[in-house]
Structure 1
Amino acid sequence: IRQLLTDQDVEAYVQDKIFTIRSDRYVVPMRVDGRGRVKGSIYDTSASGQTLYMELSEVRPMNDALLELESSEKLEILRIFKELSAQIAAELDTIDNNYKQLVELDILTAEAGLAVKLDAGPASIRDTPGLSFLRARHPILEMRQGFKTVANNVGLEDGQLSLIVSGPNAGGKTVVLKTVGLLHLMVKARLLLPLDEKSEVFLFENIFVEIGDAQNLSANLSTFSGHLMGLKPVLQEAGPDDLILLDELAVGTEPHTGSAIGQAVLEELANRKATAIVTTHFDNLKSLAINDKRFRNGSMEFSTKNLQPTYRLVLDIPGQSYGIEVAEQIGLPKHV
């Protein structure tokens, strides 16, 4: 094509000494006055109409041959695809099985990697509902670098159904609640657990969780009414094979009313023989364990020496809220 562009019969009419492609054919840009003076076929024009894209007659056989080769190439690719597809179809069961095994291997590798990061291990599966975690650690906190997670024993004795956790704000009550919930979900996902291998886990059918501020302005729900809405399905559906995790039970209203509702909820869950862990500051809930053996107290330890929580759960002892001490530690003005 470059040689043809230097031919005097062609050179006199070309717009530029270049070639391009139109409709899968090599063409040259030609001035309008070259129409009929240069042998060839026109395949396109410019937007201004001043340039014609012409296939020179000498180039036409080569364009035809090139298109034929491209067509043959496509047919050959199609033939190869069909042949490969037939070979794959003959080994489809093997390939499918290999794929599933690779996926399983990938999952196991990820599970093993997580177990190494968490220093996790197996736990025994128990046949009856209950709770017996030894040196349990929150899995997300355990993965934080430069952060030592406090391990806690969280459990219920035979005949006990509810663990009532009390203690100071920011003392770790909610962390204990979340640790129990996450570890139960992890064992359902066949993951190894960050706790002592002597621990026992029951595979609860359902895990009901009510944690955090349930206020929803768009739904006209205050903190308290939102909390009650969260408790409603628990009281309607919870049974003996379910685990219930309730944070700050019945807060957000007048304390006497809230504590009465909280006690009624706990007693109803115990009557249903559901396993529950709740956090609270209400004294009447702490006293439940004294009068009713279905309940067990637990408290988050607080160092009165340095006014700091230790984040350790102490079983069978109700905890104090240490509100004044926490306020002082946070830095509220002393005269207040």
Structure 2
Amino acid sequence: MNLEKYLEISQEVSAAIKNKKAVVALESTIISHGMPYPKNVETALQVEAVLREHGTVPATIAVIGGKLKVGCSKDEIEYLGKSGAKINKASRRDLAVLTARRADGATTVTTTMMIAHMAGISVFATGGIGGVHRGAETSMDISADLEEIAHTPVLVVCAGAKSILDLGLTLEYLETHGVPVIGYQTKELPAFYTRHSGFEVDYEIDSPKKLAEAFHTSQEMGLCAGMLVTNPIPKEYSMEHEVIEQAIAKAVEEARIKGIHGKQTTPFLLSRIKDVTGGRSLEANIQLVYHNAKLAALTAVELCKLETV
């Protein structure tokens, strides 16, 4: 493979990887498609600040001018935020075409994992992963995120699967593909905006050190799958399960009536849920991303200790 032709790693991130310092990857779809401007840029820069505060180097990932950028500059983050949905949402199927066309792309969980792995980064913090959509038994709408976690050895820290999904089927899919789902200090799968889903995770782990040990063991054993760490949203920002379910049901019905499907589904639903909840869901989204970044940073630091022994 000729990755150097396509991969562009910032000087700071490159030096950290070379010197075996902790690095945490961040996606860019949350910037372009997940929040309105300028809140998206403010949040992205604050997430990077959280990572630095806890001893890691942030690596925001995107496709800029056909280059797989690992460690976007402040100006590039501003560009992604201002451009918003005009930027291509880049999943696995889009990556080669966007690169060949020297186009721009905001990376999803899938492509962020892929590019992070190419660059040698093992820990990734995000908001929530995609999964099996409600009604997938007829639509076959299943996020590529699940397949990527099954095949790319990156530890993903999230607030669970987005609550717009069928959480039971999402867990079944991950089990079938050999992905361990770990609850951080919880036995229950968090559901993005809320701490509760009614579904159990595979394992509960109570410290970043133990998370790092589990992932390190997986790497040493040569297992190819990633590892999913689900970190509940802080209690003070958690929304009531019934409130968010009602908002989701309303948004899902609107999407059905308007014929919205595929990669447009999640941005539409999140936007409508924000409107239905009077903006509460947006603040919850922002806070859970900060919370996940902190846990990812602490875990990456512990993983570095194990890898340099």
**Under a length normalisation based on structure 2, what TM-score does the superposition of the two structures give?**
0.29
**Under a length normalisation based on structure 1, what TM-score does the superposition of the two structures give?**
0.28
In terms of fraction of residues, the more helix-rich structure is 2
Higher relative contact order (CA 8 A, sep 6+): 2
Q: Larger Rg: 1 or 2?
A: 1
In terms of fraction of residues, the more strand-rich structure is 1
